[in-house]
Amino acid sequence: MIQTAHFKIDPRLAMLLGETYRSTEHALKELVDNAWDADADHVWISLPDAMTTDPIVIKDDGCGMDENEVRKEYLMVARDRRSGRGDRTARKNRLVKGRKGIGKFAGLMAADIMQLETMANGIITYLTIPRQELLKANTDLEQFELLITTLECGLGEHGTVITLSDLNQSFSFPTAERLKELLILEYGRQTDFKIHVNGDLLGMEDIPGDIFNHEADMPGAGPVRFRFKIVDKKQKLKNAGIVVRVGGKIVGKPGYFGLDDEEDIPHKILKQVFGEIEADGLADDTTADWGAFVENSKAFQVMAQWAQQQLRQEVLRKYKREVNLAKARLKKEINQRIAKLPEYRRAYAEQTMERIMLRCYDQSEERMKPIMSVVLDALEGIPDRI
C-alpha cells in the first residue's frame, strides 16, 4: 500500500537555527542585515548597561511589514526572499543580504523573549516569540500559537523595532565596542545606511587599529584630508582600500592609487587598509555619473600621487614592524650569520635579507628559513676581494 508521509518540525528548530552565531554581537549583526535589506536609512541599536535587566533594542526606519507580510514573509522559515523579489532591494537597489530565511532566529540566541513591532501600509503589527514556551511546546512548529496584534497607524509610517528581553545569562554581555567593530567592517563604506550604537554614529574611529591623518593643500584640488587605518591581519575587511569623497559623495571604487602595482608592496597588506580622502575641490574632475575621476585631470593626478606616497610610507612601516615581530627568531639567526661576514659586505647582506623577508611576508618561518639560508650561503661563499 502506498501512502504519503509528512515531515514534522519540532519547535526546537527555531532555537537550533539561532544557535549558530559565535557571539551575541554576531547575532545582532543578523538583525542589522535585515534593516539593510529593508532599505533603512538608519538603524539604532541600544545595548543594556551591564548588570541591568534592560532589553536590547534594534530599531530601523526601513520599509517595515504589514500584517500580511509578517505572516507570509517574516514567519516563513527558510524561504529565499531573492527567489520572489530578486536580489536587489526595491527602493535603494541594494544587494540583498538575506538568503536563508532564518536570520530572524538570531535574536532568540541572545534572549528569551523576542518582540517584533513593525509598521507599513497604515498598520502597526506586534508579534511576540517566547523562547522557553517554544522549547516546552509539545506540538509542531507550525501549530505553535504566536500572539499577533495589529493597530492602525499613519499611512506614511514605516520601520521595525525588535526588542530582545530576558537576555541569556550564559552569554557574556554584548559590548558596544565589539558590536561596532563588527558592523563597521561590513558597513563602514555606506553613506546611506547609518548605524547608531547607544546613540553614537558609527565611524572610522570604530575600526580597530592605528589611525593615520594627513592633510595638504593641493594645487587644483585645494584642501585635502586623508584618513586611513591599517587593521590587524585577523580582521576581515569588506571593501578594503581608499575611497575619495567629493562633497560627501564617494567617487568610484576603493583603490590604492597605483600602489597595488608596485612590486615591493604585498597585496595582502593592502587588504588591511581602510580609509578615505575628502577632496571637495575635485568636484569638476569627476565623470558625469560620479563613477570615476576624469583620467587626465591634473588635479586628481597630483592628489593621487600625494596619497600614494602617504600610504606607501605607513604601509611599509607597519609591514616591516609586523614582519620583524613575526620573524624575530629567524632574524636573530640571520643577524648572527651576517655578523660573521666581512664588514664591507654586511650592509648589502642586511638589505638583501630585509627584501626577502618583506617579499615572503605571507610565508611561514619554516618556509622562509631555507630561502634565507641559501642566500646567506651564497653571500658567505663569495671570495673576498683582494
Burial class (CB in 10 A: 0-12, 13-18, 19+), 386: exposed
> In the complex, what is the shortest distance from the CB of residue 103 to ligand ATP, in angstroms, rounded to a whole number?
2
Query: Considering only residues 98, 159, 188, 254, which one is a binding residue for Mg ion as defined by CB under 5 A?
Result: 98
Nearer to ligand ATP, 197 or 307 (CB): 197
Q: Please spell the DSSP secondary structure of 52-76, one letter per residue.
A: S-PPEEEEE-S----HHHIIIIIT-
Task: State the nearest-atom distance from the C-beta of 246 to ligand ATP, in Å.
Answer: 32
CB of 186 to ligand ATP, least distance (A): 14
**Could you say whether residue 103 binds Mg ion (CB under 5 A)?**
yes
Examine residue 107 and tell whether it contacts Mg ion (CB under 5 A). no
Please count the residues of this chain forming the interface with Mg ion, following the rule CB under 5 A. 3
Place of cell 498598520: 123
Nearest distance in Å: CB 28, ligand ATP: 12
Q: What is the DSSP string of 72-122?
A: IIIT-TT--HHHHH-SB-TTT-PBP---SS-GGGHHHHHEEEEEEEEEETT
Q: Which is nearer to Mg ion, 98 or 130 (CB)?
A: 98
| 3-state SS, residue 159 | strand
Q: Which is nearer to ligand ATP, 87 or 333 (CB)?
A: 87
Which grid cell is 1?
500500500
Q: Which stretch binds Mg ion (CB under 5 A): 41-49, 50-58, 100-108, 120-128?
A: 100-108
CB of 104 to ligand ATP, least distance (A): 4
Nearer to Mg ion, 32 or 259 (CB): 32
Which residues of this chain interact with ligand ATP, rule CB under 6 A? Answer: 34-35, 37-38, 60, 62-65, 73-74, 81, 98-104, 160
Strand partners, 222: 218
CB nearer Mg ion, residue 101 or residue 220: 101
* 163 is an interface residue for Mg ion by CB under 5 A: no
Give the side-chain half-sphere CA count within 13 A for 266. Answer: 20
Residue with Cβ nearer ligand ATP (26 or 345) = 26
The residue at minimum Cβ distance from ligand ATP is 98
Whole-angstrom distance, CA of residue 232 vs CA of residue 230: 7
Residue closer to ligand ATP by CB (options 23, 301) is: 23
Closest distance of CB 154 from ligand ATP, Å: 17
Q: What is the DSSP string of 169-209?
A: TTSPPP-HHHHHHHHHHHHTT-SS-EEEETTEEP-GGGSSS
Nearest distance from residue 102's CB to ligand ATP, in Å?
Answer: 4
- Residue 24: which of Mg ion, ligand ATP, none does it interact with, CB under 5 to 8 A by kind? none
**Residue 273 identity (one-letter amino acid):** V
Task: Give the one residue of 11, 25, 34, 117 binding Mg ion; rule: CB under 5 A.
Answer: 34
Instruction: Fill in the DSSP letter of residue 155.
Output: T
Edge-to-edge strands, sheet with 42-46: 147-152, 123-130, 111-120, 159-167, 56-60, 42-46, 194-197, 200-201
Q: What is the distance between the alpha carbons of residues 67 and 15, in angstroms, rounded to a whole number? A: 24
Partners of residue 128 on adjacent β-strands: 115, 147
Binding site for Mg ion (CB under 5 A): 34, 98, 103
